[in-house]
Structure formats: C-alpha cells, structure tokens
C-alpha cells in the first residue's frame, strides 16, 4: 500500500481498471521522457524570454536616442509643465461658470417643460380617478373626498402654468 501511495504522490504511476481490480504500474523510462519534455519546454520558454528581453533592450535604446538630457529639452519640458498648469487653472475657472452655460440652461428649460407636462397629466389622471370613483361608488362621496384629502388631493389643486 505504501508503494502505491509513494508512486501516487510523485505522479509516476499509471493506473488501469481491469474488471473489478485496479492495477498500478510504473516504468522508469516514463519519468525520463517526462523530464526530457519538461526540459525542452523550459528551454524554449527561456529562449523566448531572452529574445523578448533583447528586443525590449533595443527598443529602449531607440527610444532613448532622441531624449538625451540637454538644456533645450529641459526648457521645453519646463514650458510644457507651465502650459499644463495654465490649462488646469483655465479648466477650473470654466467649471466655476458651468452653471451659466447656455446649453445647460436650455436643457434645464426643456426638462422644466417636460416636468410641467407630466405633473399636469398626472393631475388629470387623479381627477379622472376621482370622478370614476364617485360614479362607481355613489352615495359615498363624503368618504371618497376624505380619502383623497388624506392622500394629498386638496380642493385648490390646479394645473401648473
């Protein structure tokens, strides 16, 4: 039993079920073949990694060629940073006045119109419901009026102009 467990742990065994019995065996050449294939796979991975490293090194050198640290380049980088700071401050100032944006104001006007139309439509729906209830439940007008009053419908509700 311990021999089978040892082979199982090292994954050097082959198992087969014949009838109701399980047979386990191991060949020394299987381990050698597996090691050889692992070695070949790792060597190809190593060669690929070396090729990629060399490729990246040459690319890095090509990128560094035009970017030597000179006085002109330093001045241009400083000017670029100053312009980026100026751009950020201008964008912050624009954000302060975003509430006065004509496009936003027009969008708010359109949204207000849609909201008014929706409110008036729902007021029509409530009045239609109230009249239907009064027709359906004749004689209970006082309890219906009390119900609608409890739920926020007052006598002075009117359309939004």
- Domain boundary assignment for the chain: 1-67, 69-98, 102-150
Q: Which DSSP helix (H) or strand (E) runs through 17? A: strand 14-18
Give dist(CA 79, CA 86) in Å, integer.
10
Beta bridge partners of 22: 17
Three-class SS of residue 143? Answer: helix
| Average pLDDT, integer, range 114-139 | 91
Label residue 32 by pLDDT band (50, 70, 90).
Answer: confident
Give dist(CA 144, CA 152) in Å, integer.
13
Give dist(CA 36, CA 40) in Å, integer.
6
Mean pLDDT of the chain: 86
pLDDT of residue 24: 82
Chain-centre distance of CA 161, in angstroms? 43
Three-class SS of residue 41? Answer: helix
Which of 17-21, 52-56, 122-126 is predicted least confidently? 17-21
Write the pLDDT tens digit of every residue in 38-69: 999 999 999 999 999 999 999 998 888 877 77
Residues whose CB is less than 8 angstroms from the CB of residue 137 and which lie 6 or more positions away in sequence, other chains included: 144
């Amino acid at each position: 039993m311990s021999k089978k467990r040892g082979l199982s742990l090292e994954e050097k065994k082959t198992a087969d079920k014949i009838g109701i019995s399980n047979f386990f065996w191991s060949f020394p050449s299987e381990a050698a073949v597996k090691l050889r294939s692992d070695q070949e796979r790792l060597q190809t991975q190593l060669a690929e990694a070396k090729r990629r490293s060399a490729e990246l090194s040459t690319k890095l050198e090509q990128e560094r060629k035009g970017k030597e640290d000179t006085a002109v380049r330093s001045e241009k980088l400083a000017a670029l940073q100053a312009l980026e700071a100026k751009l950020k401050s201008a964008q912050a100032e624009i954000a302060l006045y975003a509430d006065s944006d004509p496009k936003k104001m027009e969008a708010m006007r359109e949204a207000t119109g849609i909201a008014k139309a929706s409110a008036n439509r729902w007021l029509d729906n409530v009045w239609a419901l109230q009249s239907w209830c009064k027709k359906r439940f004749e004689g209970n007008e006082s309890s219906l009026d009390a119900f609608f009053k409890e739920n926020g419908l007052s006598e002075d509700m009117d359309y939004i102009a």
